[in-house]
A and B are shown apart, each in its own frame.
Chain A
């Protein structure tokens, strides 16, 4: 028994050391060679906001009924971009480390986890920018704003789960990255990121319900609701409160994580032969 514990401690110690070092390395390499370096992590969401502000305040007036629409948009895009980044990095993460995998035995999940953590650090930096614009725009915060924490946790888990599944499948199916790219393009428009969900509700109540069952849409809408404005169309406004539908996106997230973890564990001993 004691021996088992000792072995377990040694095993996870290695994973943690490796994880930490890979995240550090990833961060160092991210802005390798650029003059402003890490500052770009702040500048990118900043300029994105300025563009959104100009476009949606002057030309496209689709979100005019929603207060703080540019911040509302920025939050949605930042959360979507996180999902995009984790899954896009994740899909090729195992294959791109093929050289290492063929020469050293180490816990492979650390690679995917490291990519996910370094994207998460980036997400937090983006949130600093969002917070600044919320303060400038005079968005009021409540105690319920803390609900953003479980929402981010859900997004982290969902993205990680998808990344695990895709990275293991990509080893066998090298067309997957193109398929995923197309899927993400479609999903971007199928998710209420650029347009308010209320526009969809006007056209078809059923379509709005369907869109909200996607965990990403649910997370984005809930995050907007707790942080920016309660006028966001969320589950409660589409389905009415108290329905079991509320549990669908979060259940989907857990199912994805469990299936992905199972598949990754099953495939990882064969990575060295197949990458």
Chain B
């Protein structure tokens, strides 16, 4: 292996067998004798992934939930074995997959420190030497002889982090550890990781937070649907990640469903909606493709957006806007784009889209919950909408 490579991932695939009915009891074994090998599903969590991480790099792994990135991390940490391919790791690798792994609530803080230390490979003698530093760093001097179950969650995290930072690693794996704790604690964590980087430690960082990836990583890889999509500059990878959330929802084909009806004189072929909205999103963009199956004059296109509880937040159609549409022949195709100011509060919203006739009665295509989008803002009002509000206090 080349000297400046810390981790080489070579054509790694990982699949899990998911039994349809989990055969972990005798009864199900008896009832399914003869077809015992037939009823499981193979889920491919990773398909033929290869990349290299250089020594001293702050390397990001990004991807959606269920994309396979956590499986990747667990393979790097040797918790899972790859189904095929190989992983070469040079140096001592310490996983930071969760803080406080192995902590026991019935033990005191002191006992947990020693237990946790043993899990990281430190003998009692070594822990004796580090103990005071650990307690001091966690700022928990007067609590060490209390049982862990009496600690607040913040105190537990501080203690766990303080123990974890003692590991002498060449390579550190971090999985969303930073999602816990307050902003102050997160800052402390990042400061620590940055100091590690300065001392030449390789950091592998799995995250959803593209700002963190942009800020800290030297290089990043995007994994989606079990495959490596792109690798390179954190900026371009973060961009590719964000684009994953703008995609099409599939129109149910054929007959009427409970959420879609109409005579299909005109029908929606596609509905594209921005999938993820944060404080930084300016507009919600919705683009629908419409196909005319018969000549229609001045159809009315409309939409309604519902919040997670199903209450309509807003909506509009051409009639309300006093906007006349044209005349269309059979086979014509148009796209309609709506841009809506980002007024939404957090949660999963759904979009209904409609095409009705000029008379306001003829229903060509009425599609409820044609698309969904998720709003994840740092700051929201406790009300149904959270528009951008400017506050000035004068005087």
Contact = CB atoms under 8 A, between A and B. Distances in A.
22 contacts: A13-B121, A18-B119, A21-B114, A21-B118, A21-B124, A22-B118, A28-B107, A29-B104, A29-B106, A29-B107, A100-B101, A102-B79, A103-B79, A103-B95, A104-B119, A106-B119, A172-B24, A173-B25, A173-B26, A174-B25, A175-B24, A269-B81
Given A173-B24, A272-B79, A273-B16, A32 B119 contact: no
A105 B123 contact: no
Interface in A219-275: 269-270, 272-273
A105 B26 contact: no
A25 interface: yes
Interface of B: 16, 24-27, 74, 77-81, 95, 97-98, 101-102, 104, 106-107, 111, 114-115, 118-119, 121-124
Given A28-B111, A32-B106, 4 more contacts: A18-B119, A101-B79, A104-B97, A269-B81
For chain B, what secondary structure do more than half of its interface residues adopt (helix, strand, loop), or is it mixed?
loop
A20 interface: yes
A17 interface: yes
Interface residues of A, number: 28
Contacts of A106: 119
Nearest to B26: A175
A29 B108 CA distance: 11
A14 interface: yes
Nearest to A14: B121
The 7 closest A-B pairs by CB, nearest first: A21-B118, A105-B78, A174-B24, A175-B26, A103-B101, A272-B79, A14-B121
Contact of B102 (A32, A100, A175, A179): A100
B115 A17 contact: no
A239 B17 CA distance: 52
A66 to B, nearest CB: 41
Nearest to B111: A28
A272 B26 contact: no
B105 to A, nearest CB: 11
B79 A104 contact: yes
A262 B359 CA distance: 78
B146 to A, nearest CB: 14
A102 B175 CA distance: 13
A105 B123 CA distance: 18
Contacts of B25: 173-175
Contacts of A172: 24
Contact of B123 (A17, A25, A272): A17
A103 B98 contact: yes
Contacts of A100: 101-102, 119
A272 B80 contact: yes
Determine which residue in A17, A100, A101 has the highest number of CB atoms from chain B within 10 A of its CB, and name it.
Answer: A17
Nearest to A33: B106
B122 A17 contact: yes
B104 to A, nearest CB: 7
Interface in A145-175: 172-175
A20 B124 contact: yes
A21 B115 contact: yes
Contacts of B107: 25, 28-29
Nearest to A172: B24
Contact of A105 (B79, B104, B115, B122): B79
Contacts of B16: 273
A209 to B, nearest CB: 32
A24 to B, nearest CB: 8
Determine which residue in A13, A32, A99, A105 has the highest number of CB atoms from chain B within 10 A of its CB, and name it.
Answer: A105
